[in-house]
Amino acid sequence: MRVKRNIPSTDLAKLPAALKPLIQREQWAVYREEKREDGSISRPPRQARNPDYLASVSDPNTWSDHATAVQAVKDGKADVSPSYSRRMTRLPCLI
């Protein structure tokens, strides 16, 4: 069962200056919170282009650009802020 959260009030399209280089990379996904049968919450990564499908940390074909991920959240297709996948980079995880 999908859990609906409030979208953060911050502007998701404006990252802090230190994170701006990440916007150029197409390594973004979104999340939907889902309630499991035991009542716990799961946040599987979803493809920003089509959040009905899962994203994979090891498959770049399931990632998108930052703008698409932000739009999916703003359109209510995803519940949680966009997430950057660092799997294919040497950057530390910052998000």
pLDDT digits 0-9 by tens, 9-61: 456 667 788 888 888 889 889 988 889 999 998 888 899 999 999 998 889 89
What is the domain partition of the chain in residue ranges?
2-6+20-84
By the 8 A CB rule, do 36 and 69 touch? no
| Beta-sheet pairing, 33-35 with 80-84 | unpaired
Q: What residues pair up with 64 in beta bridges, in sequence order?
A: 28
Cα–Cα distances (Å) from 51 to 5, 64, 82, 90, 92, in that order, read 15, 11, 12, 27, 26
58 CB contacts (<8 Å, ≥6 apart)?
87
CA 84-85-90 angle, 5° bins: 110
pTM: 0.73
pLDDT digits 0-9 by tens, 64-78: 999 999 899 889 898
